């Protein structure tokens, strides 16, 4: 079986990044984001990216780093409220944005990974989300058609992997990462620990290694997105 583990984030992205590509990125807020792979993507110098992610990071971390360097041309997201630079670029017309309801975005990536080109949902019917999209009635209810997402490259963060690329996520990091992992034509996983093949309980694997092309071990900074404290 192929050993998919590479030594550094830069090595994990070598030969698989290019200008104008669509990159799907896992994570929920700052939890479960592939932070070191994002830094390596920034340092690669690629530009005109379409970034598909639940969020846009914060100003100095996550996808906010790629917004700072103007490497992202378009964001496909559901929540972007923590990033002032995102707001500035959007309001100035410098960044193209496609907003999606959160569940719709997750399902679009899941569908893309499952080979489903489109699906119908009631979410967004009668709102700006449905403008320009096909609608159909089923059982007396109107549904809007959404297309599946296939990314050129998917970047995910997992807790553990084995050398075959089987992944286990931890708690909130399981939000969006499995869907992102499945929808990429090439998927690179950043993990905290690698174990030998056979050490993971098959019932505990969240993303099978068939979806994962490369793995890199990193040390997570685990930043807090919003720190709220009580007065002493």
pLDDT of residue 204: 95
Q: Where are the alpha helices (DSSP H) in 73-204?
A: 84-91, 102-114, 177-183
Q: Is residue 227 part of a domain?
A: no
| pLDDT recorded at residue 194 | 97
In a domain, 145, yes or no: no
Listed as ranges, residues in the chain with pLDDT below 70 are 1
Domain that holds residue 38: 5-118+150-217
| Beta bridge mates, 187 | 154
The pLDDT, as a whole number, for residue 45 is 95
Q: Judge whether 229 lies within some domain.
A: no
Torsion on CA atoms 47, 48, 51, 55, rounded to nearest 10 = 80
Q: For residue 225, is it within any domain? A: no
Residue 161 covered by a domain: yes
Would you list the DSSP string of 6-37? ESSHHHHHTTS--TT-EEEE--BTTBT--HHH
Tell me if 168 sits within 8 A of 205, measured CB to CB: yes
What's the CA dihedral at 119, 175, 94, 37 to 10 degrees? -120
pLDDT of res. 116: 97
> Is position 86 within any domain?
yes
Task: Please check whether residue 88 lies inside any domain of the structure.
Answer: yes
Share of the chain above pLDDT 70, in %: 100
pLDDT at 117: 97
Q: How many domains does the structure of the chain reveal?
A: 1
> Can you give the pLDDT at residue 60?
87
Q: What CATH number corresponds to the domain at position 84?
A: 3.40.1080.10
Structural domain includes residue 126: no
């Amino acid at each position: 079986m192929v050993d998919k583990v590479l030594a550094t984030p830069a090595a994990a992205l070598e030969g698989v990044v290019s200008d104008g590509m669509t990159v799907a990125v896992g994570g929920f807020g700052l939890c479960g984001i592939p932070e070191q792979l994002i830094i390596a993507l920034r340092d690669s110098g690629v530009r005109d990216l379409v970034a598909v992610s639940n969020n846009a990071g914060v100003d100095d971390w996550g996808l906010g780093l790629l917004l700072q360097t103007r490497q992202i041309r378009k964001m496909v997201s559901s929540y972007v409220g923590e990033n002032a630079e995102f707001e500035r670029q959007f309001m100035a017309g410098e960044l193209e944005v496609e907003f999606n309801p959160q569940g719709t975005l997750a399902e679009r990536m899941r569908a893309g990974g499952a080979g489903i080109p489109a699906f119908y949902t009631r979410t967004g019917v009668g709102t700006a989300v449905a403008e320009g999209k096909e609608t159909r009635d089923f059982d007396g209810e109107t549904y809007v058609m959404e297309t599946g997402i296939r990314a050129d490259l998917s970047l995910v963060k997992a807790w553990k992997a084995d050398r075959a690329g089987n992944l286990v996520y931890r708690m909130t990091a399981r939000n969006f990462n499995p869907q992102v992992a499945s929808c990429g034509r090439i998927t690179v996983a950043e993990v905290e620990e690698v174990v030998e093949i056979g050490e993971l309980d098959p019932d505990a694997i969240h993303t099978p290694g068939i979806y994962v092309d490369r793995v890199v071990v990193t040390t997570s900074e685990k930043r807090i997105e919003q720190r709220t404290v009580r007065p002493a």
